[in-house]
Chain A
């Protein structure tokens, strides 16, 4: 039993819903009690989908438990097939359905439905949403793909691939797919099938016709890609095209796998990110301290962008994707960091509080934590909120994605010149750091300042030993306030640490600047 106040991932059957909802003619019959239908609103409200997810819930009640819940399941499956006429069906149980052990797979076999029925075993008490999506996609592919026709490709056709992994309720999947399809076509690769997003059952049958697979979202499609490789000898790509360099790596990998000799096209594709990042206005971005948290793929990719394409400094990173903890740890180690692997947002909050980054790249929860702590934040990963489905075209992947990333990462920060002016005229009554960046409006500045004070004063720092609390002399305290607010906490901490090391009981203005020189490298 584990206490949870908020979770990064839903249960595994929600993962299965993301696959069914992504596809055009797959129906999901879910043995579940009343209330589990809440999951529909994730799709209709958050993602603003125009149709209800193709899911039939058996809605068993307490009074059914003594009677025949399996009959209820069979009726629901038969009715769903008759009403919705899907090309295939997945069947399974939610957490409560799992407990009553009705075996939806076995029951639906006895129905003799005229379509393929794929049973799902998604252990609700040990697995989570992404795992459920991955397992479901794998089971769907495994059940349907071998029935596909033999490969029939025209001899003169160029290399072709499938794109694997985009789902319903994915973070920017819709636009990522558009971007990557365009990119692949530009370099001479035909896209055979995109799955599961907007794929039909027939498309799944046709997966085997491609030369190789592009694995866009490993959390969802790694298992399926591995199976396709084993079964049909289709290799798959591992580079995730987020950021300019990673997109170039991705293109090189695709060219290599596709056997395209001509390495030319890659240089003709431009992104604005490199120039924007080099333009002098961006100097102020240098060394901004960044903390990242989210699914493993997005965090690993975004860390590279943050460090090598924006010039930030990574001070901490982590993920809730336990299945990819190893990759995450390796990536963090490359930055000399230890990855935070947790599903507990309070731990993430604690780490952000103690690291005091200047920018947080995270999920909706980190956006929330950052708001509370007064730290700028951009969302780079699921879990998603309604605002993560912008009306405009806004991919995270590919070269256009890199442009979007530049804007996404810069927007929450104070702009370059504005930052200088803030530093020069610290005591200006309206143009000061407490007024917040002008382009972000004036909302919640007080709250922001209050949380900031909490952040700066609330936590005991390492410099303070048990008995001796170090006093700040008033002039030193005043001087400290002249330091820009986003580094003030760090300056306070460092100065106190420095004073403690010297065994000082008081911090004077002198100590403050001694410490500054001591820590500057």
Chain B
């Protein structure tokens, strides 16, 4: 079934955007955008991420990954040295040499990202010019793009947003007279992507493409006949860039849990004119499976209070899932950045008395958490053990980014991630 641009129904964004938000400014206990490389370099299998930064950036990458590298990784850091900063060496020449050596060593690389960091931003090293210059030297074999993952501009998952946004102007244009197509935006684990592709196919929606693709040369085309739907909530800049390229965005909740996934698919199905009966037939079985799997954890989680420290911008959709489908009670939902437009449908599904906070002043927020004593706190790795010591059960938020949690078949796993720490507490007698 191929449709034209005019046949696609793109609804308006709805939802209440009037909700008090606690805005905080102080110490942020959150990763910078460089950490997105951790999953992006696995996702795009012929891409290399070259951070132009300091020893701190390199150390962050290896520490945040929490694992040792199993082969020569497809990311690295061009570490700025004193002679670069003192002007004794021309940084652009130095960068050219590093890139040249790197590409010699890794001939399979087709896409190279120059990733800006705090130091490279502060000294105003122009990586877009460098990317342009290097592209000329290394094309057509290797495409060279740039984005910033610096902590002065990006928080954790915003690094993926910046990366994908940098891809958009380089996506191939739609061929003349192309049928309307759907683009799913946001890095998903391969298993989730494959499940989604199967469901779209059963619904007769197509062609469906994913951004980012697994290979540099497979990136989807974009143009006026493209409609896109976000699979991840942190992609504001990417969405803007896609709209600038003529694509239209489908407003949808995020595909977490049985409901979230159903509503997400429903938005796409309605846009593409899928018969409601077909939609029900296709989604019913996986939806029931998801509900059953989630239900298994209700006993453990229902009525439990939950406190989110800001981390990945997944906090609000996660809280919606835990509240709607498991009966948990969110007390504070922290998010590093609140996109009120994207989040409106999610926030509408949450009780009015929930504190939504944006940004962080970590010591003050810890005070709030300790005085509220939630049944479970979702936080970063630096805070987890200190909170556990004080008797607060925690869930590492980074696991929610590194684990396949989207879609029907993962809904039970997602619930289990929250149930496990509570379960563990009840088992231990020491």
Which listed segment binds B: A57-65, A150-158, A186-194, A319-327?
A: A57-65
Q: Which of B48-64 contact A (CB under 8 A)?
A: 50, 52, 54-56, 58-60, 62-64
Which listed segment binds B: A118-126, A253-261, A435-443, A499-507?
A: A118-126
The 0/1 profile, CB within 8 Å of B marked 1, for residues 3-45 of chain A is 1111101110110000000000000000001111111111011
- Flag if B82 contacts A37 (CB, 8 Å): no
A residues less than 8 Å from B112 (CB atoms): none
Q: Known contacts A3-B102, A62-B121; is A50 also within 8 Å of B55 by CB?
A: no
CB distance from A519 to the nearest CB of B (A): 34
A residues less than 8 Å from B95 (CB atoms): 1
Q: Quick one: closest A residue to B66, CB to CB? A: A45
B386 at the interface (CB under 8 A from A): yes
Q: Known contacts A5-B72, A39-B63, A62-B152; is A76 also within 8 Å of B122 by CB?
A: no
- Flag if B68 contacts A4 (CB, 8 Å): no
B residues less than 8 Å from A125 (CB atoms): 54, 80-82, 84-85
- Flag if B385 contacts A45 (CB, 8 Å): yes
- Flag if B152 contacts A38 (CB, 8 Å): no
- Flag if B27 contacts A57 (CB, 8 Å): yes
A residues less than 8 Å from B64 (CB atoms): 38, 41
Q: Known contacts A35-B32, A76-B27, A95-B118; is A1 also within 8 Å of B63 by CB?
A: no
Among A41, A56, A368, the residue within 8 A (CB) of B63 is A41
B201 at the interface (CB under 8 A from A): no
- Flag if B28 contacts A34 (CB, 8 Å): yes
- Flag if A7 contacts B59 (CB, 8 Å): yes
A521 at the interface (CB under 8 A from B): no
The 0/1 profile, CB within 8 Å of A marked 1, for residues 350-392 of chain B is 0000000000000100000000000000001111111001000
Among B35, B54, B383, the residue within 8 A (CB) of A52 is B383
Q: Quick one: closest B residue to A2, CB to CB? A: B79
- Flag if B30 contacts A37 (CB, 8 Å): yes
Among A38, A96, A126, the residue within 8 A (CB) of B81 is A126
- Flag if A1 contacts B91 (CB, 8 Å): yes
CB distance from A100 to the nearest CB of B (A): 6
- Flag if B153 contacts A61 (CB, 8 Å): yes
Q: Quick one: closest A residue to B336, CB to CB? A: A34
A48 at the interface (CB under 8 A from B): yes
Residue among B27, B69, B98, B363 with most chain A CB within 10 A = B27
B residues less than 8 Å from A365 (CB atoms): 68
B26 at the interface (CB under 8 A from A): yes
CB distance from A87 to the nearest CB of B (A): 19
Among A39, A40, A65, the residue within 8 A (CB) of B122 is A65
- Flag if A59 contacts B68 (CB, 8 Å): no
CB distance from B362 to the nearest CB of A (A): 8
Q: Which of B139-159 contact A (CB under 8 A)?
A: 150-153, 155
User: With the chains together, A99 CA to B119 CA distance in Å?
Assistant: 7
User: With the chains together, A33 CA to B56 CA distance in Å?
Assistant: 11
CB distance from B319 to the nearest CB of A (A): 23
Q: Which of A81-129 contact B (CB under 8 A)?
A: 83, 94-96, 99-100, 123-126, 128
- Flag if A33 contacts B151 (CB, 8 Å): yes
Chain B: number of interface residues, binned into ranges: 35 or more
B276 at the interface (CB under 8 A from A): no
- Flag if B54 contacts A124 (CB, 8 Å): yes
A392 at the interface (CB under 8 A from B): no
- Flag if B89 contacts A1 (CB, 8 Å): yes
User: With the chains together, A127 CA to B73 CA distance in Å?
Assistant: 25
CB distance from B112 to the nearest CB of A (A): 13
- Flag if B385 contacts A40 (CB, 8 Å): no
- Flag if A49 contacts B385 (CB, 8 Å): yes
B123 at the interface (CB under 8 A from A): yes
- Flag if B84 contacts A1 (CB, 8 Å): yes
- Flag if B54 contacts A5 (CB, 8 Å): no
The 0/1 profile, CB within 8 Å of A marked 1, for residues 284-316 of chain B is 000000000000000000000000000000000
- Flag if A1 contacts B81 (CB, 8 Å): yes
- Flag if A96 contacts B55 (CB, 8 Å): no
Q: Known contacts A3-B77, A4-B79, A125-B54; is A51 also within 8 Å of B60 by CB?
A: no
User: With the chains together, A346 CA to B155 CA distance in Å?
Assistant: 31
User: With the chains together, A6 CA to B243 CA distance in Å?
Assistant: 38
B218 at the interface (CB under 8 A from A): no
CB distance from B141 to the nearest CB of A (A): 19
- Flag if B101 contacts A11 (CB, 8 Å): no
CB distance from B355 to the nearest CB of A (A): 21
- Flag if B363 contacts A36 (CB, 8 Å): no
- Flag if B78 contacts A3 (CB, 8 Å): yes
B residues less than 8 Å from A4 (CB atoms): 55, 58, 76-79
- Flag if B122 contacts A99 (CB, 8 Å): yes
- Flag if A5 contacts B30 (CB, 8 Å): no
User: With the chains together, A367 CA to B81 CA distance in Å?
Assistant: 29
- Flag if B381 contacts A60 (CB, 8 Å): no
- Flag if B76 contacts A95 (CB, 8 Å): no
CB distance from A35 to the nearest CB of B (A): 3
Q: Quick one: closest B residue to A84, CB to CB? A: B363
B residues less than 8 Å from A381 (CB atoms): none
User: With the chains together, A353 CA to B407 CA distance in Å?
Assistant: 45
A495 at the interface (CB under 8 A from B): no
A160 at the interface (CB under 8 A from B): no
Among A6, A35, A50, A385, the residue within 8 A (CB) of B386 is A50
CB distance from A1 to the nearest CB of B (A): 4
User: With the chains together, A83 CA to B366 CA distance in Å?
Assistant: 13
A364 at the interface (CB under 8 A from B): yes
Q: Known contacts A34-B155, A125-B82, A365-B68; is A10 also within 8 Å of B101 by CB?
A: no
CB distance from A413 to the nearest CB of B (A): 22
The 0/1 profile, CB within 8 Å of A marked 1, for residues 198-230 of chain B is 000000000000000000000000000000000
A1-B97, A2-B81, A364-B68 known; 8 new pairs, CB 8 Å cut-off, are A1-B98, A11-B56, A33-B150, A35-B32, A37-B29, A45-B66, A95-B54, A99-B122
Could you show 8 A-B contacts with beta carbons less than 8 Å apart?
A5-B72, A11-B59, A35-B32, A45-B385, A65-B122, A124-B54, A124-B55, A368-B69
Instruction: Spell out B's residues near A (CB within 8 Å).
Output: 26-35, 50, 52, 54-56, 58-60, 62-64, 66, 68-70, 72-73, 75-82, 84-85, 89, 91, 94-95, 97-98, 101-102, 118-119, 121-123, 150-153, 155, 363, 380-386, 389
Instruction: Spell out A's residues near B (CB within 8 Å).
Output: 1-7, 9-11, 13-14, 33-42, 44-45, 48-52, 56-62, 64-65, 76, 83, 94-96, 99-100, 123-126, 128, 346, 364-365, 367-368, 372, 385
